[in-house]
Amino acid sequence: MATHIPHSVPDAALSGAADAANATKTVKMPVGIPGHTLREEERTVPASEPPVLPINSELEYIGKPVERWDGRLKVSGSARYTADVQLPGMLYAKFVNATAPHARVVSIDTSAAESHPGVKGVHIIESVLGTAVLRDPSLEKTKYPVVRYAGQPVAAVAATSPQAAEEAADKVKVKYEPLPFVVDIDLARGPNAPLVFPGAADEAGTAGGGGSEAGLPQTGNVHGPEVKKQGDAEQGFRDADVVVDARYTTQVQTHSALETHGVVADWKPDLLTVYASTQGTASVREELAGYFHLPMSKVRVITEFMGGGFGAKFGAGNPGVVAAALSRKIGAPVRLMLDREEEHLSVGNRPSSDQRLRIGAKKDGTITAIQLIAYGTAGCGTGAGCAGPAHNLYKWASLHTEENDVFINAGPAAAFRAPGHPQGAFALEQSIDELAVRLDIEPIDLRDRIDENPVRRVEREVVRNSALWKSRNPKPGADAGPIKRGVGLSQSVWYRFVRMESAAEVRVHKDGSIEVLSAVQDIGSGIKTVLAQIVAEQFGVPPAKISIKIGDTNYPVGPNSGGSVTTLSITPAVRDAAWQAAQKLLASIAPALHTTPGDLTLSGGMVRSASGKFQPIPFRSAAAKMNTDQVAAQAKRVPDYEPKKYDTYGGVDVAEVAVDTETGRIHVKRVLSVHDCGRPMNPAQVTSQINGGVIQGISYTLFEHRLLDPNYGLMVNANLDKYKIAGAYEIPEMEVILTEAYLGQSSTDASGIGEAAGIISIGAAIGNAVYNATGVRIRQLPMTPAVVLAALNQPQPMVEAL
């Protein structure tokens, strides 16, 4: 199949390069949804941009379910993850972690550890990363950092074997002066609660989100509120015919990536090399350079393969800084990988929430007011805000939200896949469902009236016509017998964030081989494959033939992967670089082929003459005619063509559940996910991300729960046995329908899917399905048998429609 991208521009366009920087051109781009709203819109773009990419159906590799570029390496065990890195003379480090939830460290005696056989060095931690910090540091003058959660790293030991390091870590004697602690959010809000911080404390967000606004008020342990008001909400409630008023609570979820946090740090006089399990090679380099006062050029960060991060793996963090410090001190490479317990305790989680949500509406569904008063705990960090969905899913006449972080003595939260949104949507989308019941309007019809997003409108139409939705009995609790079936839906919203620090180089060698270089890392979602598809499309050769070299800060800067930014940020840079390299290649070989570059096209593995000057020749043979050994081009992300336009994504998820009303068990039978992510670059990988988001969402909704003992402040289920995560039997029959929605924003017009993929909406979809099954609403996560039976046992007030 021939590709429809023009592979050259008129030769005249290559002249006048001096003006090229500011020159623009006007192009017509496909915008909208094929089969629904597809049209052409004009965009004014830099003149140096490659020709407009047609829609997926007209392309050969982009938009196709191309096999994962590194799939075979992963399934065969050949992929080298951070824990597989083995350097000559490498040492193994182990943290010494605090055993108390709140304490001053009085003394640390390392002598026994240092004389333990095999030990090469001990490091005492001077500052703990990842937590909120006091606005006024003088409130706390201590020799060692104050322990604010059980599991907080205090020191670390490096030894010649993991066993020796572990044994020696046990020999570090830390003397604590215990302080009063609080691990329960309700108690922490109380007037006489022990204080986690002696004064106001703040935490900045990471590249993945999280954190909170600086300078918010703080009363006791309550940091906030962050107040947002638009319109007059009190008037809005007075104008309402119906007010839905409910309280929702959600639990703390830990990231539980398969690969734990960790690094191998190799400090040499001329260069600090760090192999890191990270979502941001750039963020790790920046933090290490800053911490150790090194020039950026003296720090190299490598992430060849990555076993999951979900938002918790930005920056060097405590493991990165400590491993580098030990490596510098000892003069040998140091590996520091966390164990599963440390992973649960100290490197992030999704904050809890306790939300009071009021929605006022007119009889026709028009929302007159939304009010959300939310508290949540991010441990000794911040980032529990969850008002995003209330702000951004529906149109409202007035809005009032207050978000509060409540400090407790627990490990700090970190950005976690769609920060704040699974919590916020769990409440909002169940209340919208309840509103539909009260107004006696079908849930899809109500959303058609209050949701202005044109893509979700099309997605709801797909849902409305689906067999699954048609199988829904609108009457709640209609099934006879103890096991009742129900179907519910929920929507999600996420935002278009572009990271401009996204660059790549494409090289073509005289032997016909092509390579792409960028510091961008593949966190597992498959960006390597997508980059190969883009370059393959440009050169007309199969993606498997392209060498993808990424995840190394030696290459041009890449975006940190968080907030669904990777694909939409890096792919335009790669396409631009590929296109420019192709132009250089054609210019280089044209003389030998007795033609002009403009006469040459690349497709089907061949170089062709548009005017028929020669029979198509294989790409490799043509490349051999280059008048140089290599051509290369580097490009950086061009800003979105039309920022602020089409700036959200979303989807509609439908869940079918079987609720066993005698055991309180909820079994999710089927999930239909109708989602958009602009131009799907690789539908198989997009589907895979949505499958993952749905599973993670089911796991969050039904099972996962960080449990802290209230009397001692210790986590009792810091493992993968009693911290319960969905397994094979919990995975429903899943169907994903992608909505191609062209936005006309860049040379690839790619978007992102990581956050919007199911995790936001599945909780409320299950909640609404449970209501449909039983007539009872579960407003608490996780929906365990204990929670479900308690709800079913409550006498149910009759819900009366207007």
| Residues near other proteins, by CB under 8 A | 99, 163, 166-167, 341, 483, 658, 660, 662-665, 667, 702-703, 707, 709-712, 714, 716-717, 719, 721-722, 724, 726-730, 784-786, 789-790, 793
- Smallest distance, Å, CB 660 to other proteins? 6
Q: Closer to other proteins at the Cβ: 649 or 703?
A: 703
- Smallest distance, Å, CB 509 to other proteins? 46
Enumerate residues 6+ apart whose C-beta is below 8 A from 221.
182, 188, 189, 193, 195, 196, 197, 406, 407, 408
- Smallest distance, Å, CB 722 to other proteins? 6
Q: How far apart are CA 596 and CA 691, in angstroms?
A: 48
Q: How far apart are CA 488 and CA 27, in angstroms?
A: 43
Q: Closer to other proteins at the Cβ: 676 or 704?
A: 704
Q: How many CB atoms lie within 10 A of CB 143?
A: 11
Is 360 in contact with 236 (CB distance < 8 Å)? Answer: yes
Q: Closer to other proteins at the Cβ: 334 or 783?
A: 783
Q: Closer to other proteins at the Cβ: 167 or 479?
A: 167
Residue 453 phi, psi dihedral angles, 5° rounding = -70, 120
Q: Closer to other proteins at the Cβ: 29 or 668?
A: 668
Tell me the torsion sign for CA atoms 131, 132, 137, 140: negative
Q: What angle do CA 580, 585, 590 make, to 5 degrees?
A: 125
Cis peptide before 782, with omega less than 30 degrees from 0? yes
Q: Closer to other proteins at the Cβ: 213 or 660?
A: 660
Q: Closer to other proteins at the Cβ: 176 or 291?
A: 176
Residue 70 phi, psi dihedral angles, 5° rounding = -115, 20
3-state secondary structure of 655: strand
- Smallest distance, Å, CB 330 to other proteins? 24
What would the two tokens of residue 701 be?
């909704």
Q: Closer to other proteins at the Cβ: 494 or 700?
A: 700
Q: Closer to other proteins at the Cβ: 726 or 753?
A: 726
Q: Closer to other proteins at the Cβ: 704 or 740?
A: 704
Q: How far apart are CA 585 and CA 587, in angstroms?
A: 5
Q: How far is CA 476 from the centre of its chain?
A: 35
Count of all residues that appear for the chain in the document: 802
- Smallest distance, Å, CB 695 to other proteins? 12
- Smallest distance, Å, CB 23 to other proteins? 60
Q: Closer to other proteins at the Cβ: 509 or 667?
A: 667
Q: Closer to other proteins at the Cβ: 526 or 713?
A: 713
Q: What angle do CA 271, 574, 11 make, to 5 degrees?
A: 125
- Smallest distance, Å, CB 718 to other proteins? 9
- Smallest distance, Å, CB 49 to other proteins? 50
- Smallest distance, Å, CB 724 to other proteins? 6
Q: How far apart are CA 389 and CA 366, in angstroms?
A: 17
- 506: nearest Cα among 585, 566, 567, 568: 585
- Smallest distance, Å, CB 708 to other proteins? 8
Q: How far is CA 757 from the centre of its chain?
A: 10
Q: How many CB atoms lie within 10 A of CB 251?
A: 19
User: What's 760's DSSP letter?
Assistant: T
Q: What angle do CA 136, 138, 140 make, to 5 degrees?
A: 105
- Smallest distance, Å, CB 423 to other proteins? 21
Q: How far apart are CA 129 and CA 152, in angstroms?
A: 10
Q: Closer to other proteins at the Cβ: 40 or 339?
A: 339
Q: Closer to other proteins at the Cβ: 271 or 716?
A: 716
3-state secondary structure of 161: coil
Q: Closer to other proteins at the Cβ: 284 or 345?
A: 345
- Smallest distance, Å, CB 354 to other proteins? 19
- Smallest distance, Å, CB 760 to other proteins? 23
- Smallest distance, Å, CB 473 to other proteins? 20
User: Roughly what angle, to the nearest 10 degrees, separates helices 683-702 and 421-439?
Assistant: 80
Q: Closer to other proteins at the Cβ: 239 or 730?
A: 730
Residue labelled with tokens 């005017």? 611
- Smallest distance, Å, CB 703 to other proteins? 6
- Smallest distance, Å, CB 150 to other proteins? 8
- Smallest distance, Å, CB 483 to other proteins? 8
Q: Closer to other proteins at the Cβ: 298 or 669?
A: 669
Q: What angle do CA 501, 297, 506 make, to 5 degrees?
A: 50
User: Strand 242-250 vs strand 253-254: parallel, antiparallel, or unpaired?
Assistant: unpaired
Characterize 218-244 residue by residue with b for buried, 16 or more Cβ atoms within 10 angstroms of its Cβ, and e for exposed. bebbbbbbbeeeeeebeebbebbebbb
Enumerate residues 6+ apart whose C-beta is below 8 A from 430.
246, 248, 764, 767, 768, 771, 777, 779
Tell me the torsion sign for CA atoms 49, 54, 60, 62: positive
Side-chain-facing half-sphere of 264: CA atoms under 13 Å: 19
Q: Closer to other proteins at the Cβ: 16 or 727?
A: 727
Q: How far apart are CA 63 and CA 30, in angstroms?
A: 15
**39: part of which helix (H) or strand (E)?**
strand 39-46
Q: Environment class of residue 166 by beta-carbon count within 10 Å: exposed (0-12), middle (13-18) or buried (19+)?
A: middle
Q: How far apart are CA 397 and CA 361, in angstroms?
A: 10
- 379: nearest Cα among 345, 407, 403: 407
- Smallest distance, Å, CB 759 to other proteins? 19
